[in-house]
Amino acid sequence: MGDMTGPPWGTLAVEQYFITNWNYSSTETPDQQRRRLVAGFLDLNLIPIEWVEDWESLPDPPRAPTSEEIDTILRPYRVDALRWRAGNMFHDHTSPVLLRTYYSTEEGERAEHDELMNTWVNMDPFEAESWWAVLDNAEHFNFRSDWRRIYEVLPEVAGPLSPETEDKWIPRAHGPEYFDSIRHDFKTQLAEAKERNPKAWREGRDAIIASLAMRLHKLSARTYLILADQEAFQSGSLRLLYLDGFRNIVREGRLDPEIDDLFGVISRWMDSELLENSVVGDKYRVNGELGKELYQLTEEDLADPNGKK
């Protein structure tokens, strides 16, 4: 990664956010202020479209940073190789990121893990996209179980941003009204399933809801992330996370090395269903804060079909 050269300063969306919101009078240290601004950038729902377009195609490009802003604000944030990664993130708009978060300190085990990583990287779809999609560097990504630290150094992983725009803005997530028609179909299917098998409803209501809500989950997920974590190296099963625009887990699972293949996962994401053996993330469960908003289930929707409590 040391030979990679990043894009011109200020052409990355997070850098525009930095120079627009930097407070030279802040009592925070520069590192503290950068961490706070990264968090603020990741929580933006609407991002100015000019922050993510090619500068050369814009009649009025975003503000180029001054030399002082580059040296004081931007350059200390991350090395050029990470900026190169950021500039090429989601190059093909379909392949997910494969992030390695575990690097054993035992030499023999580390060599075995390196070989397994090579096997994964040489599979579709990463064989052609590994130049940008594979994040494998112990110096930068040795997060172990704390995989969310990737957003601190590469907030771009939270993308790709939707091609849909609202005036001059790009939203990170769809509004509740976007799901209205799909939610109506979902509730119809739910009522039919409940009437068809009341016993199954009473014994496994949440599982039925999770199964029928697959399309809602698919449209809620803005991106997905494949993790080569410690368990992946021990079991051979990569972890797969489907994430919404604010990095909440919509669904997650492990790839079965005997059944699943990475190309198949891509196909399910783009053309059919999410990984069948995945489970719903906590916030997207029936009683989760995001699940309540997404499903909008009433007491009548959840009631026992025979009137039993």
Query: Which residue ranges make up each domain of the chain?
Result: 1-88, 93-147+174-309
Sheet holding 249-254, edge to edge: 134-135, 97-100, 223-228, 239-243, 249-254, 279-280
Q: pLDDT of 111-149, one tens digit each? A: 999 999 998 888 766 777 788 889 999 999 999 999 999
Q: What whole-number distance in Å separates Cα of residue 283 and Cα of residue 249?
A: 7
Q: Which two tokens stand for residue 259?
A: 């059944």
Buried b or exposed e, range 67-87, using 16+ CB within 10 angstroms: eebbeebbeebbbebbbbbbb
* Cβ-contact 284, 257 below 8 angstroms: no
* Cα distance between residue 268 and residue 251, in whole Å: 13
Tell me whether strands 134-135 and 97-100 are parallel, antiparallel or unpaired.
Answer: parallel
Considering only the C-alpha atoms of the chain, give the largest distance between any 2 of them, rounded to a whole number of Å. 71
Mean pLDDT on 68-89? 94
Query: Residue range 161-183: average pLDDT?
Result: 80
Q: For residues 202-232, b (16+ Cβ closer than 10 Å) or e, as one string?
A: eeebeebbbebbbbbbbebbbbbbbbbbeeb
Encoding tokens for residue 180?
Answer: 């209205």
pLDDT at 67: 96
User: Which residue type, as a one-letter code, is found at position 273?
Assistant: E
In single-letter form, the type of residue at position 99 comes to: L
What is the mean pLDDT of the segment spanning 39-61?
82
SS3 285: coil
Measured CA distances, 135 to 23, 56, 128, 154, 167 (Å): 32, 29, 14, 10, 34
Residue 268 has pLDDT above 70, yes or no: no
Write the pLDDT tens digit of every residue in 216-237.
998 898 888 999 999 999 999 9
Cα–Cα nearest to 160, from 81, 78, 244: 244
Predicted confidence (pLDDT) at residue 271 exceeds the cutoff of 60: no
Ramachandran angles phi, psi of 181, nearest 5°: -65, -40
List, in order, residues 6 or more apart from 24 with CB less than 8 Å away: none
The residue with greater pLDDT, 76 or 260, is 76
Nearest residue to 112 via CA among 1, 230, 256 = 230
pTM for the whole structure: 0.91
Beta bridge partners of 242: 224, 251
User: Distances in Å between the alpha carbon of 258 and those of 47, 236, 238, 275?
Assistant: 41, 10, 12, 14
User: In the predicted model, what is the mean pLDDT of the chain?
Assistant: 88
d(CA 103, CA 252): 22
